[in-house]
């Protein structure tokens, strides 16, 4: 893969987006999983507005976390199976940047649709406008961290038998802080308290993941391919 690093990264991201467009069923599976999980809770719990408002942040964020985990296997799995991943490792371009491009494509096809549909689903829980806006913002800030952290787990378990379950065990403890502060921001907004602190910590975690995750993922991929 010749050319500048920027051109190589753009090519990798465009390729992954094209593959996702051709395999829409994979993307739609994650999307509808999120929609169904979030929508089942109001049906099961009943129409008590106070209860629905109280559980809404946790339900939406847990569903987003599970949907992100459901999609991790396809981040590197297909490329590992057809040999593309080995070619990426052998290119003269920095593997860290190429990995970041793949993570970006994963978030655009998995995380962003969840962010956009979440406020609509939040209406089922009787959330007010401020809480819905905070829900959108918290997911916009936090879901990239899920993709970044999940990429490390997906790379570490690449080619391992039962890798999906092992990936879940590896990344779930790392997802917990994102879940706590993401749901906490929405809860604070819904109760009239400032959510700035929660959102700031959430942004800090996403930035930390952005710095360390591509490097850790690239290292894990090299180890998995040896």
Interhelix angle 5-22/24-45, nearest 10 degrees:
60
Quote the CA–CA distance of 159 and 117 in Å, as a whole number: 33
Place of tokens 């996702």: 20
Choice among 59-73, 100-114, 163-177, 194-208 with the minimum mean pLDDT:
163-177
Q: pLDDT digit string (tens) for 129-185?
A: 899 999 999 999 999 999 999 999 888 888 777 667 788 888 899 999 999 999 999
CA distances from 206 to 44, 102, 185, 200, 209 (A): 33, 17, 15, 10, 5
Q: What's the whole-model pTM score?
A: 0.90
Domains of the chain: total: 1
Q: pLDDT digit string (tens) for 11-49?
A: 888 988 998 888 888 889 999 999 999 999 888 887 788
Quote the CA–CA distance of 51 and 85 in Å, as a whole number: 47
Residue 1 scores a pLDDT above 70: no
pLDDT of residue 47: 77
The more confidently predicted of residues 116 and 225 is 116
Contact 213, 149 (CB under 8 A): yes
The more confidently predicted of residues 85 and 59 is 59
Q: Supply the range of the domain harboring residue 124.
A: 5-225
Identify the CA nearest to 112 among candidates 82, 86, 147. 147
CA distances from 178 to 29, 32, 105, 106 (A): 23, 22, 20, 18
CB atoms within 10 A of CB 168: 17
Q: pLDDT digit string (tens) for 173-216?
A: 999 999 999 999 999 998 888 899 999 999 999 999 999 999 99
Contact 76, 154 (CB under 8 A): yes
């Amino acid at each position: 893969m010749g050319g500048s690093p920027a051109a190589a990264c753009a090519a990798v991201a465009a390729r992954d987006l094209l593959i996702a467009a051709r395999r829409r069923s994979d993307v739609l599976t994650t999307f509808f999983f999120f929609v169904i999980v979030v929508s089942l809770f109001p049906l099961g719990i009943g129409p008590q507005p106070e209860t629905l408002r109280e559980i809404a942040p946790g339900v939406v964020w847990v569903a987003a976390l599970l949907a992100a985990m459901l999609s991790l296997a396809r981040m590197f799995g297909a490329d590992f199976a057809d040999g593309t991943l080995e070619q990426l490792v052998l290119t003269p371009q920095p593997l860290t940047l190429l990995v970041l491009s793949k993570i970006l494509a994963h978030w655009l096809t998995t995380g962003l649709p969840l962010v956009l549909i979440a406020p609509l689903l939040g209406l089922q829980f009787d959330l007010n406008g401020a809480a819905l806006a905070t829900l959108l913002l918290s997911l916009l800030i936090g879901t990239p961290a899920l993709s970044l952290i999940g990429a490390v787990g997906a790379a570490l378990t690449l080619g391992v038998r039962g890798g999906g379950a092992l990936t879940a065990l590896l990344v779930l403890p790392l997802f917990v802080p994102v879940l706590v502060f993401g749901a906490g921001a929405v809860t604070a907004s819904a109760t009239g308290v400032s959510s700035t602190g929660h959102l700031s910590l959430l942004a800090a975690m996403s930035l930390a993941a952005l710095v360390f995750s591509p490097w850790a993922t690239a290292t894990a991929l090299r180890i998995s391919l040896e």
